[in-house]
Chains A and B, each alone.
Chain A
Amino acid sequence: MISVYHYMILSAILFAIGSFGVLTRKNMIVIFMCIELMLNSVNLTFIALSRHLGNMDGQIFVFFVMTVAAAEAAVGLALIIAFYRNKESIEVDDFRLLKW
């Protein structure tokens, strides 16, 4: 029988893979996709626990996470386009004006 622990371990694995992608990739869009992956793994935890605890609140929370993710996608990708216009590149290494 599949318990809530299975889902939580799975979402921990997905979260670790997502953070690995964020740390290693240079392409800004792929980093963005990995952030979406991490958000989704957290959503899985929310829904698994909401189901386990017999409470609807977690699923409502996932609803709002999806709203925030959509807003983030719109603004984040607009930022990527604005970066690309300035530098003709979307590699994160090219954006280090603030680096000391």
Chain B
Amino acid sequence: MEAMLFYLVALVSVISAFFVTKCRNPINSALCLVTTFLCLAVFYVMLQAPFMAAIQIMVYAGAIMVLIIFVIMLLNIGSVGKSRYTHGVAGAIVLSFLSFIVAAKFIAGGTVSKAVGDISAEVVQSYGHTELIGKAMFTEFLLPFEIASILLLVAIVGAVILSKRKV
């Protein structure tokens, strides 16, 4: 049952990811990308990470895609029909296929070590996933958390400077 769900969602995600690269109209690409994000959220649920699935939908499928579609509509490039919208297809097929082969070789050749941590499915069930995330984030990963706020600050300033017409 779980394997069937996995293969079904994997198929949908791969097909929609392919159409992200294939669709001529950027709006269609964006909608296919939303489908891929939703499929990944399903995987996160299957991997017992429900909070990750929630923020995947909130941040990626919600916020980032809204921004991308916004820019597509802002620049009104949806209807522009250029005859050639790709270049170097043959070389790119070879390169991306080679990168996949290398990755697959490493994945198949390497052995993933046995579970060493103490977070099992039962622990996630009893504590709650959000709580475990919070515990790790606000004790162990304190410094990266504060640095993330500085990154967001820089992003705010940079984006306002770049997009404001007259600074």
Contacts and interface: CB of A to CB of B under 8 A. Distances in A.
State yes or no: do A and B touch (Cβ within 8 Å): yes
Interface of A: 1-2, 4-10, 12-21, 23-27, 29-30, 32-34, 36-37, 40, 43-44, 47-57, 59-60, 62-64, 66-75, 77-82, 84, 90-91, 93
A16 B36 contact: no
Q: Which of B77, B137, B148, B162 has the most CB of A within 10 A?
A: B162
A8 B112 CA distance: 11
Q: Which of A52, A69, A78, A93 has the most CB of B within 10 A?
A: A78
A29 B77 contact: yes
Contacts of A25: 21, 85-86
A4 B112 CA distance: 8
A77 B64 CA distance: 10
A77 B73 CA distance: 12
Q: Which of B17, B89, B132 has the most CB of A within 10 A?
A: B17
Contacts of B2: 1-2
A12 to B, nearest CB: 4
> Which secondary structure characterizes the binding site on chain B?
helix
Given A27-B85, A33-B30, A51-B47, A8 B107 contact: yes
Interface string B23-53: 0001001100100110010011011110010
B89 A24 contact: yes
B87 A24 contact: yes
A53 to B, nearest CB: 5
The 10 closest A-B pairs by CB, nearest first: A21-B21, A54-B117, A55-B117, A71-B155, A23-B92, A16-B100, A78-B162, A12-B103, A20-B96, A54-B115
Contact of A54 (B103, B116, B141): B116
9 contacts: A4-B112, A43-B40, A55-B117, A56-B136, A63-B52, A66-B60, A70-B64, A73-B67, A81-B162
Given A32-B68, A33-B33, A33-B68, 6 more contacts: A16-B97, A16-B103, A24-B88, A29-B26, A29-B68, A33-B20
